[in-house]
Amino acid sequence: MSILLDVNSRIAIQGITGREAAMVAKHSLDYGTKILAGVTPGKEGQDVHGIPVYNTLKKAVKTHSVNTTVVYVPPAFVYDAVLEAIATGINLVIIATENVPQLDAMRFLTRAKQAGVQVIGPNSVGMITPKDRVKVGAIGGDKVERCFVPGRIGVISRSGGMTAESSWMVKRAGFGVSTSISIGGDALIGTSIKDLLMLYQADSETDAVVTFSEPGTHFEEEAAELLSRGGFTKPLFCFIAGRFTESMPEGTVFGHAGAMISGGSGKPSQKMRRLREAGAHVLEHFDDLTEMMQKILSPSITMSDSN
């Protein structure tokens, strides 16, 4: 069992004929992922690494029973791509594109929520379930096992690069991951830390979760509230980057569109305090993760448990 992505995922890539999307498709296929179709208007009849390309997602879904799509289209076209996915009955949409207009994001995220469609991103490097050898997006690149090995630890990261780094730290500690997810660095994203913690809580093959967070947004405070009311009961290891930002002028944007502190909200120190009070294991330094996991988690929760 895993969350959101598993052997039953039947995947399409919107914008597959673009350079990055084609590279991602090749790496995913090599890993064993079922990339069944690609979509680029005007390119029907072509193929990318043997993946057939269609003009519309509707035809890809009808032909291949696709239930998951990865969006690699330019920012101005993400809105239409997501609405097309919603209209075709897709269950899961992963948006890799960054710099999506915020008004567009507000509109398609609202539509997706109304339709019961799970959206990861925008600005996500993807997600991976090593046990099933399935990944979507650029996550893991072409050397997946360097960071991602099967196990029983969930990973959630605001930063794309730190999704791999956090999973590598889990591996260094002697554990593996169930599902690792880059939720996206934008201020407006479809799936929050709280949302994923609820899914990991219900997953019998996830025993603990690691989160990597940044300044800005209320996601960590929402997660702390979930812990406080008993909605997540598994060990939770949290690192909040960017405490230096608290000494900078209010309203300064740091790196990602979502990393902004305003009116005292979004401060790393506040997030850390709330999570610690709720019972999470909050790291002062990211390098503390391996030692803390080894100290708190049972040695039986190893990489071999998922083999």
Query: Quick one: pLDDT at residue 250?
Result: 62
Number of residues that this document lists for the chain: 307
User: Residue 104 belongs to what H/E stretch?
Assistant: helix 102-115
Strands 47-48 and 11-14: unpaired
Q: Running along the chain, 307 residues long, what does each successive block of 10 average in pLDDT?
A: 89 98 98 97 98 98 98 98 98 96 97 98 97 97 96 96 97 97 93 98 96 89 97 97 67 55 69 96 96 89 52
For residue 251 the two structure tokens come to 């309203």
CA-CA-CA-CA torsion sign (110, 115, 118, 123): negative
Compute the distance between CA of residue 133 and CA of residue 138 in angstroms, rounded to an integer. Answer: 14
Q: What are phi and psi of 265, to 5 degrees?
A: -80, 140
For residue 76 the two structure tokens come to 């101005």
Catalytic residue status for 256: yes
**CATH class, range 147-307:** alpha beta
Domains 1-124 and 147-307 share a fold: yes
Catalytic residue among 27, 64, 256, 281: 256
Query: Quick one: pLDDT at residue 259?
Result: 52
For residue 95 the two structure tokens come to 């948006």
Query: Quick one: pLDDT at residue 252?
Result: 58
Compute the distance between CA of residue 296 and CA of residue 64 in angstroms, rounded to an integer. Answer: 45
Compute the distance between CA of residue 109 and CA of residue 220 in angstroms, rounded to an integer. Answer: 20
Query: Quick one: pLDDT at residue 253?
Result: 59
**In terms of CATH architecture, what is 1-124?**
3-Layer(aba) Sandwich (3.40)
Compute the distance between CA of residue 262 and CA of residue 251 in angstroms, rounded to an integer. Answer: 5
- Integer CA distances (angstroms), 103 to 76, 120, 134, in order: 11, 17, 32
The pLDDT tens digits for 273-296 are 999 999 999 999 999 999 999 999
The number of C-alpha atoms within 13 Å of 284 and in the hemisphere containing its C-beta is: 0
Compute the distance between CA of residue 26 and CA of residue 9 in angstroms, rounded to an integer. Answer: 17
**Per-domain boundaries in the chain:** 1-124, 147-307
Query: Quick one: pLDDT at residue 307?
Result: 42
Query: Quick one: pLDDT at residue 306?
Result: 42
How far the first Cα of the chain sits from its last, in Å, is 12
Query: Quick one: pLDDT at residue 204?
Result: 95
